[in-house]
Amino acid sequence: MNTPSTRSGLYEQVARIGKALSSPKRLELIELLAQGEKSVETLAAQGGIDVRLASAHLKALREAHLVDTRRDGKYIYYRLSGPDVARLWVSLRDVAEEHLVELRLALTHMLGDPASLCSESRASLLLKARLGQIVVIDVRPPGEYEAGHLPFARSMPLDELEARLADLPPDRAIVAYCRGPFCLMSDEAVRLLRGKGWSATKIMDGVSEWAASGLPIET
């Protein structure tokens, strides 16, 4: 029967997702898990929190069925329960950026030099990378690259980049990317490359943004 209490119960079920996403740290954990499956210990280290707090946040996400787990020996690994969860994170962030001037100002401040941002469209970037006219580098940790990366991207983890500069052609533009707009690894990569004489820019996209736009991801 369609009663007010029944409708209220429906809204309450949807609100479970909102409650699970109401913590900034849980949003960060979702962004990290959008890069691939990770152990609790890895998530705690990358999120800058202790394992106990990470476990509590992950429990809340699991209760809302936003993440799944598997056990391997004494370790528990978490992953998003579906690609729609990554798309939800991208959509939520896009809405926040559209309506919150504070977020737009913070992102502008993070970007620093606007000239560091690649001016190519996604389609143009994909074409030029396929033709070898530019080199796209993924500066995330190797495990995240293996879980999924942009087509034609090379794995050049930020902590290995300086030691591997000889692997990059000096006569082509380099485009770096990392986990998305809130990630600073690509900014550090651009500064390092420019300081060494390369023509380097970054894109704001990570794999979640790329996939949310309907573009292919390679594994």
**Residue at 69: amino acid letter:** T
| Beta bridge pairs of residue 39 | 77
Among the listed residues 178, 183, 203, 211, the single catalytic one is: 178
Tokens of 36: 């691939």
Q: Does the annotation count 178 as an active-site position?
A: yes
Residues near 114 by Cβ (< 8 Å), separated by ≥ 6? none
**Residue at 118: amino acid letter:** C
Rounded distance between C-alpha atoms, residue 90 and residue 16, angstroms? 19
Residues near 145 by Cβ (< 8 Å), separated by ≥ 6? 138, 153, 155, 157
Active site residues: 178
